[in-house]
Amino acid sequence: MTRLILLILIFPLGVSCSINLYEILINLLSNLDNNLFFIVGSLFSIVIVWMFKKKLQFFTTFEHELTHNFWAILFFRKPMGFHVKKDGTGLFEYKAGGKFSNIFISLSPYFFPTACFIWLPFYGMCKNQYYWLYFLVMGIFFGYHIMSTIQETGSYQTDISNNGVFYSYLILIPLNIIFNGIILAHLDRGFHGIFDFLYSGHFNNYHFIVSLLNL
């Protein structure tokens, strides 16, 4: 029942966020010059992660397990072990709780751009003349997340298979739209863009759908 409720909550939110994200992407594509540093950083990171997958395996595993750890703490689950070996394998152990939190904790590395969210608060501390550097670094983190997620997501992952492959992807797709959309919304219009993406944009979508049904 918990899994069904979670799907019912997340899937419509993901659909609404995808509508909001479409508008954001149009804005970003129409202002490529303003987003140049983010784009350059993203492309650079994607190429590097793709070319040096094996050499970066320790780092990507560390970030993977760190994301598990972050979401465990977010749900007040006590971490019990954090292991990353030289061969690139790793394991994060925590005191398990309810099904709701366990789903998010186990699937978090496949939808949550950890480095981007760690870097995000620095936007408010950054002076205008250094915004280019801020967005360059954000692009590097964003490109890393996109490429590493593509590389490590698959039915062979126990995090995914333990939750059911089909169910996991039903959850992961909208969650990727939501959390990656937050970063892109921030790129488009700063923190105000995040507010619109997560809050006011949904009301606009609701009124639009209602107006269509009344036709």
At CB < 8 A and 24+ separation, what contacts does 27-30 make? 27/188, 28/184, 28/187, 28/188
Alpha helices (H) along the chain: 2-29, 36-51, 57-74, 99-107, 114-119, 131-152, 158-161, 165-195, 201-213
Residue 43: CB partners within 8 Å, gap ≥ 6?
139, 143
Q: Give 88-136 pLDDT, tens digit per residue.
A: 778 888 887 788 889 999 999 999 999 999 999 999 888 888 899 999 9
Q: Quick check: 3 pLDDT over 90?
A: no
At 190, which amino acid appears? G
Assess contact for 181 and 20: CB atoms under 8 A: yes
Residue 183 contacts residue 120 (beta carbons within 8 Å):
yes
Percentage of the chain beyond pLDDT 90 is 50
The per-residue pLDDT for 213 is: 61
Burial class (CB in 10 A: 0-12, 13-18, 19+), 113: buried
pLDDT of residue 207 exceeding 70, the answer is no
pLDDT tops 60 at residue 215: no
> Higher-confidence residue: 183 or 82?
183
Counting Cβ atoms within 10 Å, is residue 83 exposed (0-12), middle (13-18) or buried (19+)?
A: exposed
Res 84 pLDDT > 80: yes
Place of tokens 């760690």: 118
Q: Range with the lowest mean pLDDT among 17-21, 92-96, 153-157, 179-183?
A: 92-96
Q: How confident is the model at residue 209 (pLDDT cuts 50, 70, 90)?
A: low
What pLDDT, on a 0 to 100 scale, did the predictor assign at position 7?
Answer: 87
What's the whole-model pTM score?
0.90
Q: How many CB atoms lie within 10 A of CB 2?
A: 12
In angstroms, the CA 208 to CA 122 distance is 35
